[in-house]
């Protein structure tokens, strides 16, 4: 059976390509998903989940979000497991999911989510509607997220 998934705009990169891209300690992964569950962007920042299929995770996260909305008439905000916290943030045409250490500061996580959501809505949201977004925007998204991490890092020091 063939799998019909759209390729993500950006995939995980090697450490040497990420030398100037430093996420906050305790942030494990970041997903920007289309409403279909297909990843528009994803990044595993450590080995937690790095062997997982992002398309399967994306579909699972969207399914959880839709289930919560159907059952409770509200948005899913957080799921906590033994080692991790998954934070869900609705975008206009998709979903932002952040996975962090359980003890990661909630305020910092909220600031990251708010900044990435604002960035995405203003600069990239229309690309979620395209079946295969233009690859030329990928470096820009990566660059902006890196700037958000650097800015937040300098504010906490």
Sequence-distant contacts of 105-114: CB under 8 A, at least 24 apart: 108/24, 108/152, 108/156, 109/27, 109/85, 111/152, 112/24, 112/27, 112/148, 112/149, 112/152, 113/87, 113/89, 114/89
pLDDT tens, 57-106?
999 999 999 999 999 988 999 999 888 999 999 988 889 999 999 999 98
Alpha-helix runs per DSSP H in the chain: 54-72, 106-123, 138-156
pLDDT tens, 116-149?
988 888 887 777 666 655 444 556 788 888 888 8
| Domains along the sequence of the chain with CATH | 22-156 (3.30.450.30)
What percentage of the chain reaches a pLDDT higher than 90?
A: 29
pLDDT tens, 29-65?
999 998 888 888 888 887 666 678 888 999 999 999 9
């Amino acid at each position: 059976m063939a799998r019909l998934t759209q390729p993500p705009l950006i995939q995980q990169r090697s450490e040497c390509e990420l030398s100037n891209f430093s996420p906050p300690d305790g942030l494990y992964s970041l997903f920007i998903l289309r409403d279909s569950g297909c990843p528009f962007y994803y990044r595993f920042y450590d080995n937690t989940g790095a062997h997982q299929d992002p398309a399967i995770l994306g579909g699972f996260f969207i399914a959880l979000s839709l289930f919560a909305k159907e059952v409770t008439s509200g948005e899913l905000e957080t799921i906590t497991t033994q080692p991790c916290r998954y934070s869900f943030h609705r975008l206009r045409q998709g979903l932002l999911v952040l996975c962090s250490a359980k003890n990661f500061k909630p305020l910092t996580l909220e600031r990251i989510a708010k900044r990435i959501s604002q960035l995405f809505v203003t600069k990239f949201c229309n690309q979620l509607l395209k079946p295969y977004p233009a690859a030329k925007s990928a470096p820009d998204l990566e660059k902006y997220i890196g700037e958000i991490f650097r800015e937040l890092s300098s504010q906490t020091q």
